[in-house]
Each structure stands twice: as structure tokens, then as C-alpha cells.
């Protein structure tokens, strides 16, 4: 047991770290308490001071802003902890949502706790939970995995380790890698139900719901824009991956023309057959079209 924290014990003056949630898009989601704490704090530690200054200006907050991000967290964190130990109050914010979720804020929280400094959460908007409650996927059990690994080996290890988890899986991903991510999940976990959520709380908020196969077709038709929350339903008894790790998928032995032809034989139009083949191969429809042209007899 490392100790008991009574956050609002007012018997003595002391420094503290307030972990303050900020809006993920819509400024109306800022809480009264968050505004008050940012006004009262001696220092506001921000991941991106330019972004945070816009927020402070909107709410007429004249706080002392200091930079705290991935590249300066050691030096900046050490100084912030020194100030808190001396009795000053620091409010930690991220670019959007709850700090310390997939950002270096966790490191500052840990440093403060190591020095027996109170860490007090100011709750508010969070992209992962916002997406989950509107996804339609089960919410009784879920896991958040942060940003999907960029490296293929790390991605495969994560998917293999979590393949049989029964709860909803939540990831963050950039628009540039979301298609590749869906392909890898589909290949490892099979054709589960999933949701792509973006622009949460903003004017162009969008949810795409469907099977992984359907979403692969959708991202082919509409190139992704903006950061995504990707949610995938959990494992159920009887689920099987799109193919086992011990064997290759059947289409691996087909040419692109044969792959497209198989789906045409099942009643799909040539356009839809090309889209589905592209999704399974993890390429664009244009790549499929180009290969079809190259395979034409001279």
C-alpha cells in the first residue's frame, strides 16, 4: 500500500497536480469546474501551448502557460514537480480530452505521486468513451489500447495476444493508416462488427458501422479524414480468424483477375468485386484495376 490521498483535506496549504479534461471538439463541453481550476492554478502545463492558448482566450483565462510534451517532459516535469513541492498548483491539460491518455501526462502524474503530491482529476470529455457509448457495440466490458502499433510485428503480437478478449476493443488511428489497420485486424480476428468514429462532438461528426469487410469497402470509396476511434466487437464462442496463422488464405494462390472473377461469380458487380478484392489484399481499387490491365493478353 503506497498511501491514502484525501484530495480535499483543507487542513494545510500544499501544492497539487490537477489533471484537467478539455473539450475534444465542441467548446460547450468544457465544464464549469475545469474553467475554475484553470483560472485558479499557478501554472497550466500544456502539450501544445498554441492550441491551449486558444482555449484559454475563449474562456477568458489568464493563466501562466508552460510547455510540457513528449520531447521536454524530463526537464519540464522536474521543474513542475519542484514547484508543486513548494506549494504551487499545476493544472495539466492535453490538446483535447483527458490528459495522460496516450500522451506524456502519465509521466508527470507518476512523478508527482512519487513525491507525495496530490493528483486530483477534473473529469470531462474523452474520445474513446464518447465513441464507445454511441457505437452500438457492447459496453459492459471493453479495453482501450491507444494508438494501433505502426510496426507490423508489434501489431501482430497485439492482435494475437488480444484475439480472444470478449469485450469491445478500442483503438486510436490516423487517417493515413486506418485502412491498413482494418486489414490487419480482419486477417487476425475475422469479419467482426466494428465502428469508425471521427470528428466527435464537431459539426462533421461521423460514425461508420458495419462488418470489417464492409468498412474496408467503405474506406476504399471514401478516403479517411481526421483522427479515428476504431472499435471492434469482442471474441465470441465459435469465432474464427479470416485465416489461421498456420495457413494462407485461399486467395493467396489466385491472380488478381481470378480474385475479382470469384466475386463476380457470386453475383457481385465488377466494381464491387474489385472493391472487395482490394479490401482483402489491403490495396486500393486503383491498384486492382492497374493489375487487371497488366494481365490482359497482348
- Asked if residue 237 is part of any domain, the answer here is no
- Asked if residue 39 is part of any domain, the answer here is yes
H or E segment to which residue 266 belongs = none
Do 112 and 67 belong together in one domain? yes
pLDDT tens-digit profile, the chain (298 residues): 667 888 887 555 689 999 999 999 999 999 999 999 999 999 999 999 999 999 999 999 997 999 999 899 899 999 999 999 999 999 999 999 999 888 889 999 999 999 999 999 999 999 999 999 999 999 999 999 999 999 989 999 999 999 999 999 999 999 999 999 999 999 999 999 999 999 999 999 999 999 999 999 899 888 888 899 999 999 987 776 655 444 456 777 788 887 887 887 788 888 888 888 887 777 777 887 777 776 655 5
What is the total count of domains within the chain? 3
Do 189 and 277 belong together in one domain? no
- Asked if residue 245 is part of any domain, the answer here is no
Do 214 and 267 belong together in one domain? no
C-alpha cell read off for 103: 500522451
**Parallel, antiparallel, or unpaired: how do β-strands 206-211 and 193-198 relate?**
antiparallel
- Asked if residue 144 is part of any domain, the answer here is yes
Do 121 and 63 belong together in one domain? yes
Q: Which residue range(s) make up the domain with 202?
A: 128-232
Domain boundary among 93, 125, 157: 125
Cα dihedral across residues 191, 194, 199, 205: positive or negative? positive
Do 140 and 99 belong together in one domain? no
Do 20 and 120 belong together in one domain? yes
Percentage of residues in the chain having pLDDT higher than 90:
68
d(CA 95, CA 73): 15
d(CA 255, CA 45): 55
* 157-171 per-position pLDDT tens digit: 999 999 999 999 999
- Asked if residue 106 is part of any domain, the answer here is yes
C-alpha cell read off for 248: 494462407
- Asked if residue 95 is part of any domain, the answer here is yes
- Asked if residue 92 is part of any domain, the answer here is yes
Do 86 and 136 belong together in one domain? no
Amino acid at each position: 500500500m503506497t498511501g491514502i490521498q484525501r484530495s480535499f483535506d483543507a487542513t494545510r496549504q500544499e501544492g497539487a497536480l490537477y489533471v484537467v479534461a478539455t473539450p475534444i471538439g465542441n467548446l460547450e463541453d468544457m465544464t464549469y469546474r475545469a474553467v475554475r481550476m484553470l483560472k485558479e492554478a499557478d501554472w497550466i502545463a500544456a502539450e501544445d501551448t498554441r492550441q491551449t492558448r486558444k482555449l484559454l482566450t475563449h474562456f477568458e483565462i489568464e493563466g501562466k502557460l508552460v510547455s510540457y510534451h513528449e520531447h521536454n517532459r524530463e526537464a519540464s516535469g522536474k521543474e513542475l514537480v519542484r514547484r508543486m513541492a513548494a506549494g504551487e498548483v499545476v493544472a495539466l491539460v492535453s490538446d483535447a480530452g483527458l490528459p495522460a491518455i496516450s500522451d506524456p501526462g502519465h509521466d508527470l502524474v507518476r512523478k508527482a505521486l512519487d513525491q507525495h503530491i496530490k493528483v486530483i482529476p477534473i473529469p470531462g470529455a474523452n474520445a474513446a468513451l464518447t465513441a464507445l457509448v454511441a457505437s452500438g457495440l457492447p459496453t459492459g466490458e471493453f479495453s482501450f489500447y491507444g494508438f494501433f502499433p505502426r510496426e507490423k510485428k508489434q501489431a501482430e503480437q497485439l492482435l494475437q495476444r488480444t484475439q480472444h478478449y470478449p469485450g469491445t476493443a478500442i483503438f486510436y488511428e490516423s487517417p493515413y493508416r486506418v485502412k491498413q489497420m482494418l486489414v490487419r485486424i480482419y486477417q487476425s480476428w475475422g469479419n467482426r462488427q466494428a465502428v469508425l468514429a471521427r470528428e466527435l462532438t464537431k459539426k462533421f461528426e461521423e460514425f461508420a458501422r458495419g462488418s470489417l469487410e464492409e468498412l474496408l469497402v467503405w474506406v476504399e470509396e471514401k478516403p479517411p479524414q481526421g483522427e479515428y476511434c476504431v472499435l471492434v466487437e469482442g471474441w465470441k464462442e465459435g469465432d474464427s480468424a479470416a485465416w489461421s496463422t498456420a495457413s494462407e488464405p485461399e486467395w493467396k494462390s489466385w491472380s488478381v483477375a481470378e480474385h475479382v472473377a470469384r466475386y463476380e461469380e457470386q453475383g457481385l458487380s465488377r466494381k464491387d468485386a474489385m472493391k472487395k478484392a482490394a479490401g482483402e489484399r489491403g490495396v486500393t481499387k486503383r491498384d486492382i484495376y492497374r493489375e487487371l490491365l497488366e494481365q490482359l493478353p497482348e
